[in-house]
């Protein structure tokens, strides 16, 4: 290449570089671009129907999007419920570690965060600190609450891997699993994470550039996106749940801290199929429905429920009452409903939904309706509503025998943010095979009146949190002897 051509090429490259730097500086002075976990976050949430990602990104105003964790607590956020410190954790500021500290890091979801209580400081996390300080008087007990509403075991694992070393815990306690098996959209947490990673040093470098993000956003806006289709995915599969447990233990072993895990208690009497109804109409900033069509159609089907307010947890809680209201599909007089459903069944014999609704109308009148529920189950054996109604219909007469029906209904329900039995069993197996202390909260709550100990589908009441705190402290002090 002639010298003049080389000089012109070099001059052109330098000019482009200068123009890009000027463009970059101008953007940084004029606008504030947020590098979200996706530069086209709303489009991907819509395209893959990731309704939980859309919900939790700004949940209660206390959370914000994050490139690695999908969302996190908003540093400095204050409300009557919670204070988020500068480091982005619920609770007081985290000061440099002192020689006499015993530092505990909790990793979990909205339960250890304190959702369902009047104040987050009433959570068992902070009760553990107060109770343990009375026992371990020679050490200063410092608690870091790394819990975030909506978090799965995958997000808790990533939080530990990203920030664990700076937090320097002596003990890590996990409380997660309620969000793992729930239906979200067409991507699991891990698939979304893999899809949104920047590969290669150039992409990592450009990912920090406002100019690159600005130009990329323009290109992506020109791309017409349509919703994906396929199989609705649980956020974290059972296998991935086990892998996340192993990864947490590996990190703890490598960093010289202990690990303890909690099995997760949830009520059996919370009805299936209604938890997501309140969110089915959720829309993104462009006014597009985020939840998958198939899920919305399932939730819209008029299956009546046996809602016994004398048994149900959370009937005094505003949110729980709102969710229960979505299950009241038939508000007419039960005798009138009975006549309607009998007439419809004569026209469509064997329809499981009509048999179910007839059974509920009879139950509301105090008439035995088990035969209709069993008949419906012969045609639709995987229907969580049928199993739930069967359990409630005979619960008062024989709660021990019918408890199995309610547990089965809970296992079949993917429209509620509740852990499934297989995940708790996987947790037990992991602890047993890896010599990790298990804080068995699931068995601790067995036999207790759910109305008194749960606010809703998974969050304990204040006395439930106190019970959890005492059990955790007992487990910690026993393991230190």
Secondary structure of the chain as H, E, C letters: CCHHHHHHHHHHHHHHHHHHHHHHHHHHHHCCCCCCCCCCHHHHHHHCCCHHHHHHCCHHHCEEEECCCEEEECCCCECCCCEECCCCCECCCCCCCCCCEEEEEEEECHHHHCCCCCCHHHCHHHHHHHHHHHHCCCCEEEEEECCCCCCCHHHHHHHHHHHHHHHCCCEEEEECCCCCCCEEECCCHHHHHHHCCCCCHHHHHHCCCHHHHHHHHHHHHHCCCCCCCCCCEECCCHHHHHHHHHHHHHHHHHCCCEEEEEECCCCCCCCCCCCCHHHCCCECCCCCECCCHHHHHHHHCCCCCCCCCCCCCCCCCHHHHHHHHHCCCCCCCHHHHHHHHHHHHHHCCCCHHHHHHHHHHHHHCCCCCHHHHHHHHHHCCCCHHHHHHHHHHCCCCCHHHHHHHHHHHHHHCCCCCCCCHHHHHHHHHHHHHHCCCEEEHHHHCCCCCHHHHECCCCCECHHHHHHHHHHHHHHHHHHHC
Q: What are the angstrom distances between the C-alpha of 350 and each of 200, 353, 373, 375, 435? A: 59, 9, 11, 8, 52
Say yes or no to pLDDT of 209 above 90: no
Token code pair at residue 65: 């999007």
Mean pLDDT across the stretch 440-456?
95
Say yes or no to pLDDT of 166 above 80: yes
Number of other residues whose CB lies within 10 A of the CB of residue 470: 15
Angle at which helices 384-393 and 352-364 cross, to 10° = 20
Mean pLDDT across the stretch 359-373?
94
Say yes or no to pLDDT of 90 above 70: yes
Say yes or no to pLDDT of 35 above 50: no
Say yes or no to pLDDT of 480 above 90: no
Which of these, 300, 280, 298, lies nearest to 289 by C-alpha position? Answer: 280
Q: Of all residues in the chain, what percent carry a pLDDT higher than 90? A: 68
Rounded to whole angstroms, how far apart are CA atoms 442 and 468? 10
Mean pLDDT across the stretch 278-303?
90
Q: According to the model, what pLDDT value does residue 449 have?
A: 93
Say yes or no to pLDDT of 446 above 50: yes
Token code pair at residue 290: 């985020």
Which of these, 166, 230, 158, 234, lies nearest to 194 by C-alpha position? Answer: 158
Contacts 24+ apart (CB under 8 A), 368-373: 368/393, 369/393, 370/394
Rounded to whole angstroms, how far apart are CA atoms 143 and 106? 8
**Are the C-beta atoms of residues 47 and 228 closer than 8 Å to each other?**
yes
Mean pLDDT across the stretch 17-43?
65
Say yes or no to pLDDT of 481 above 80: no
Number of other residues whose CB lies within 10 A of the CB of residue 251: 17
Mean pLDDT across the stretch 196-205?
54
Q: Of all residues in the chain, what percent carry a pLDDT higher than 70? A: 89
pTM of the model: 0.87
Q: Which residues make Cβ contacts (< 8 Å) with residue 308, sequence separation at least 6?
A: 392, 395
Q: What are the angstrom distances between the C-alpha of 190 and each of 196, 277, 318, 467? A: 10, 26, 34, 34
Mean pLDDT across the stretch 367-373?
94
State phi, psi for 374 to the nearest 5 degrees: -65, -40
Mean pLDDT across the stretch 29-45?
62
Say yes or no to pLDDT of 163 above 60: yes
Token code pair at residue 83: 């204070």
* 226 or 53, greater pLDDT: 53
* Average pLDDT of the chain to the nearest whole number: 89
Q: According to the model, what pLDDT value does residue 39 have?
A: 62
Which of these, 438, 443, 445, lies nearest to 461 by C-alpha position? Answer: 445
Q: According to the model, what pLDDT value does residue 195 have?
A: 80
**Are the C-beta atoms of residues 47 and 192 closer than 8 Å to each other?**
no
Angle at CA of residue 447, ends 443 and 448, nearest 5°: 100
Q: According to the model, what pLDDT value does residue 36 have?
A: 46
427: confidence class by pLDDT, cuts 50, 70, 90: very high
275: confidence class by pLDDT, cuts 50, 70, 90: confident
Q: What is the pLDDT of residues 139-154, one digit of tens each?
A: 999 999 999 999 999 9
Q: According to the model, what pLDDT value does residue 207 have?
A: 57
Burial status of residue 121 (CB atoms within 10 A of its CB: 0-12, 13-18, 19 or more): middle
* 215 or 136, greater pLDDT: 136
Say yes or no to pLDDT of 310 above 90: no
Mean pLDDT across the stretch 163-172?
97
Torsion over CA: 331, 335, 340, 341 (sign): positive
Q: What is the pLDDT of residues 228-243, one digit of tens each?
A: 677 899 999 999 999 9
Q: What is the pLDDT of residues 406-418, one digit of tens each?
A: 999 999 998 989 9
Rounded to whole angstroms, how far apart are CA atoms 310 and 424? 28
Q: According to the model, what pLDDT value does residue 222 have?
A: 54
187: confidence class by pLDDT, cuts 50, 70, 90: very high
Residues in the chain: 481
Per DSSP, what are the bridge partners of residue 54?
Answer: none
* 34 or 108, greater pLDDT: 108
């Amino acid at each position: 290449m002639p010298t003049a051509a080389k000089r012109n090429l070099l001059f052109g490259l330098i000019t482009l570089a200068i123009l890009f730097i000027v463009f970059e500086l101008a953007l940084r002075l004029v606008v504030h671009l947020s590098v979200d976990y996706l530069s086209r976050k709303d489009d991907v949430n819509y395209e893959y129907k990731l309704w939980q990602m859309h919900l939790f990104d700004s949940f209660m105003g206390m959370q914000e999007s994050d490139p690695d964790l999908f969302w996190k607590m908003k540093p400095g956020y204050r409300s009557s419920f919670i204070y988020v410190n500068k480091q982005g954790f619920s609770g007081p500021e985290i000061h440099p570690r002192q020689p006499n500290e015993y530092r505990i890091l909790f990793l979990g979801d909205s339960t250890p965060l304190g959702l369902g209580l009047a104040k987050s400081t009433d959570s068992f996390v902070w009760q553990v600190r107060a109770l343990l300080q009375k026992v371990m008087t020679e050490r200063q007990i410092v608690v870091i609450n790394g819990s975030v509403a909506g978090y799965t075991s995958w997000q808790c694992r990533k939080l530990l891997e990203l920030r664990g070393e700076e937090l320097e815990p002596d003990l890590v306690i996990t409380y997660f699993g309620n969000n793992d098996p729930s239906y979200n959209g067409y991507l699991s947490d891990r698939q979304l994470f893999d899809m949104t990673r920047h590969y290669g040093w150039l992409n990592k470098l450009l990912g920090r550039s406002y100019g690159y993000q600005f130009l990329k956003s323009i290109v992506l806006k020109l791309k017409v996106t349509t919703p994906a289709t396929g199989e609705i995915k649980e956020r974290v599969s059972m296998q991935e749940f086990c892998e996340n447990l192993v990864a947490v233990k590996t990190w703890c072993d490598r960093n010289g801290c202990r690990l303890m895990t909690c099995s997760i208690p949830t009520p059996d009497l919370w009805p299936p199929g209604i938890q997501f109804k309140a969110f089915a109409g959720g829309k993104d900033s462009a006014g597009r429905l985020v939840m998958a069509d198939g899920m919305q159609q399932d939730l819209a089907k008029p299956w009546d429920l046996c809602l016994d307010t004398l048994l149900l947890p959370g009937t005094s809680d505003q949110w729980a009452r709102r969710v229960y209201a979505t299950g009241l599909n038939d508000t007419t007089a039960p005798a009138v409903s009975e006549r309607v459903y009998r007439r419809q069944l004569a026209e469509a014999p064997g329809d499981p939904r009509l048999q179910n609704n007839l059974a509920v109308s009879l139950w509301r009148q105090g008439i035995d309706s088990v035969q209709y529920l069993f008949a419906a189950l012969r045609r639709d054996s995987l229907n969580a509503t049928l199993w739930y109604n069967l359990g409630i219909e005979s619960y008062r007469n024989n709660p021990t025998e019918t408890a199995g029906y309610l547990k089965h209904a809970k296992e079949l329900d993917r429209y509620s943010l509740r852990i499934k039995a297989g995940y708790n069993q996987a947790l037990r197996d992991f602890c047993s095979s890896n010599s990790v202390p298990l804080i068995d909260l699931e068995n601790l709550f067995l036999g207790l009146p759910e109305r008194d100990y749960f606010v809703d589908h998974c969050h304990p009441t204040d006395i439930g949190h106190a019970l959890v705190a005492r059990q955790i402290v007992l487990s910690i002090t026993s393991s230190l002897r």
